[in-house]
Structure 1
Amino acid sequence: MVEVLVGVAIFACLAGAALVSLLIYERFPAHHRQDDTSAVVRLAANLFVVMSSLVLGLMINSAKNTFETIDHNVHSFATQLILLDRSLRQYGPETGSARASLAAYVQRVVDATSLSQKTPVVANRLSELLLNQVGDQLAALTPPEAKRASALQAAQQQLQKVIEQRWALVEQSDGNIPEPLMTLLVAWLMLIFASFGFRAPRNATVVGTFLISGALAAAAIYLIMDMDTPFSGPIQVSPAPLQRALAELTE
């Protein structure tokens, strides 16, 4: 929801800059409306067009890398959950309660997945308690033989990896694009859109072009912000790996 409001605000800023420039141009003194002045304004705008293009390219690449990295980490997280369950099964029926807690954790993660999540579902406090409960149940086990001791040790190591990856996903949920850079980019785009309205004819085609261009530019920035936070908004990391892990744990 925050990303949508930011996108609407950016559209208002860009379209407003172009329309205000279009409306107030005729009120400028005559020497401010000469061809030489217009040429200088265009040159300054072209400078920021190049800079904005570079920054947008970097932001798209950063958001894409963030999304792909977290998607890879979710797949790895689901794999570690399955391997942990396999280690618990290998130990024997004494790990039944631990496996039940692990399955309850994964079930909660899958059930909590929705477009309204602002933080990854792995950050849920109750989910953390369920994982800690698995660790407590493993610590209470006393393996009667070396083979089971080895299986228990493997399960504890897998659990540690699961916890580490869970916290890695939590830390990656806030995105990597700094807000000051986003603000600076919007300021540059406002200057560019303001230059569009400088000496532009006043007609519906020009106004419509300003509105459509502003909407498309704002939509592009919105998509970048959405991809930079893969656990919220329409573009989210798929929960399919966790759903497959749950199916493996409950079969």
Structure 2
Amino acid sequence: MSALAISTAVLVCIFASAVAGVRLRPRFPDAHVNADTKDTVTLIMGVVGTLTGIVLGLLVTSAKSSFDAQRDGVARLAANVVVTDRALAHYGPEAREARAALRDSACDLVRRTWPAEPAPPGTPAEPVGADGRYDEVYDRVLALQPKTDAQRTTQAQAVTVLHDTAQLRGQLRSHGGSSIPPVFLVLIVAWLAVMFAAYSLFAPRHATTFVVLFLGAFVVSSAVFLILELDQGFGGVIRIPSQPLRDAVLQLGK
């Protein structure tokens, strides 16, 4: 499910719990909803609210850390692509095919990672396996036959950067899944539903109460939406920009 669908479901669930609490109050005897009971409920729900805030903070931190790691990985990947291309340019005209393969690999990566965006100019028409184009770059660099110390040094530097790039690609793939355990979200929603229902038992039945309850449920569901969006760095409304890699592609082959 999308982040919007999940957050909408959270909004409906929490607001429905709050409305149920308001409507259930007349069914309770007065002794069960007096001032002493209200104080007890307020105390217990304060503990629940504190725990919920802590867990929400942990979820936001986890999602933000995952988002930042992926964004930094994309920036490093773009820098590595440019560095590799410049190293091959200094190697000489013998590295022309390796540079062309590097550009195809970068274009293919942009197309795969951001499929909803237009592919960079010059992107190969037919995609290959997940690592096919990158493997071609690596093979072509290893196949170079350096004749001078400068070429041997340049080839070694290119191979080192390609190794680092391969690690970055693997890390980005590993971060592609969700870092938020579903049970966390289920528990958070359950705690919030209980808390809203408990507080609404003592709320007066008029329009202002329902508006405030809806606004509270909307704020909470918005927080869940933000967490899920940050956790899905390459999709959704809040996404990691492809511009660093696109800028890198424009510099390749020059």
Q: TM-score, normalised by structure 1?
A: 0.89
Aligned to 1:176: 179
Aligned to 2:19: 19
Aligned to 2:122: none
Aligned to 1:133: 136
Change (3 A) 1:146 1:139: same
**Equivalent position amino acid for 2:100 in 1:** A
Deviations 1:188-233 (A, max 9, x none): 1111111231021111211121112111110111101211221121
**Equivalent position amino acid for 2:161 in 1:** Q
Alpha-carbon offset, residue 116 of structure 1: 5.5
Deviations 1:37-80 (A, max 9, x none): 22222221111111112222222233223222222221111111
Aligned pairs for 1:184-223 (under 5 A) are 184-223=187-226
Aligned pairs for 1:92-111 (under 5 A) are 92-111=92-111
**Equivalent position amino acid for 1:192 in 2:** M
Change (3 A) 1:125 1:18: farther
Alpha-carbon offset, residue 173 of structure 1: 2.1
For the 8 Å contact 1:67–1:228, the answer to whether it is kept is yes
Aligned to 1:236: 239
Identity %: 28
For the 8 Å contact 1:108–1:127, the answer to whether it is kept is no
**Equivalent position amino acid for 1:152 in 2:** Q
**Equivalent position amino acid for 1:230 in 2:** G
Q: TM-score, normalised by structure 2?
A: 0.88
**Equivalent position amino acid for 2:189 in 1:** V
Change (3 A) 1:130 1:115: closer
The aligned length equals: 245
**Equivalent position amino acid for 1:48 in 2:** V
Aligned to 1:142: 145
d(CA) in 2 for partners of 1:204 and 1:115?
A: 46
d(CA) in 2 for partners of 1:125 and 1:223?
A: 34
For the 8 Å contact 1:82–1:245, the answer to whether it is kept is yes
For the 8 Å contact 2:3–2:225, the answer to whether it is kept is yes
d(CA) in 1 for partners of 2:28 and 2:253?
A: 73
In structure 2, list runs of 5 or more residues that go unmatched: 118-126
Q: Please identify, of 126-135 and 146-155, the stretch whose mean Cα deviation from structure 2 is larger.
A: 146-155
**Equivalent position amino acid for 1:160 in 2:** H
For the 8 Å contact 2:41–2:199, the answer to whether it is kept is no
In structure 1, list runs of 5 or more residues that go unmatched: 118-123
d(CA) in 1 for partners of 2:25 and 2:83?
A: 68
Q: Please identify, of 53-62 and 130-139, the stretch whose mean Cα deviation from structure 2 is larger.
A: 53-62
d(CA) in 2 for partners of 1:40 and 1:60?
A: 30
Larger helix proportion of the pair: 1
